[in-house]
Amino acid sequence: MINSKNFSNSYEREKRIIKKKDFSAILRLRPINKTSHFSLYIRSNQSRKNRFGIIVAKRFVPRSVTRSTIKRIARELFRHSFFFPYIDCVVRLYKPINIKSDPATTTMLKYLLRSELRELLKINDLINKITLNFNYIIKN
């Protein structure tokens, strides 16, 4: 019998940032990268795992379907990204995406979100910034 747990698409709890104190500690830092709607905060950690959190405020995205779509796309892009110095990463939406008169989700909206989040999570640029910050923290 095949264990279906091994083939699950869920995002493991140990790879998520859940607690408010963890979010607060990361958000005290300056954003590493910004796009037109999102900002990215990164902090190195000692847990030997990359952890991810996302903040999508209801005031910026009134529909829960759209908020869930944003979270799902962001998690999937982060899951396929590889970072060597283990990090805590938070993506924060800081501008409205769509309004209530627009459809909740469309193929075009998903495409635009995916491309903007991909731009936010550029691997090569981020690794250079992370190692510079990591080296700066170690020296001081």
The pLDDT tens digits of the residues spanning 55-94 come to 999 999 999 999 999 999 999 888 877 666 788 899 999 9
Both structure tokens of 34: 């910004």
Q: Span 33-53, mean pLDDT?
A: 89
Q: Are 23 and 105 in contact (CB under 8 A)?
A: no
Model pLDDT, residue 1: 43
This prediction has a pTM of 0.77
Going along the chain from its start, the domains and CATH numbers come out as 13-132 (3.30.230.10)
Q: Are 78 and 52 in contact (CB under 8 A)?
A: yes
Q: Span 31-37, mean pLDDT?
A: 91
* 64-79 vs 107-120: helix crossing angle, rounded to 10: 40
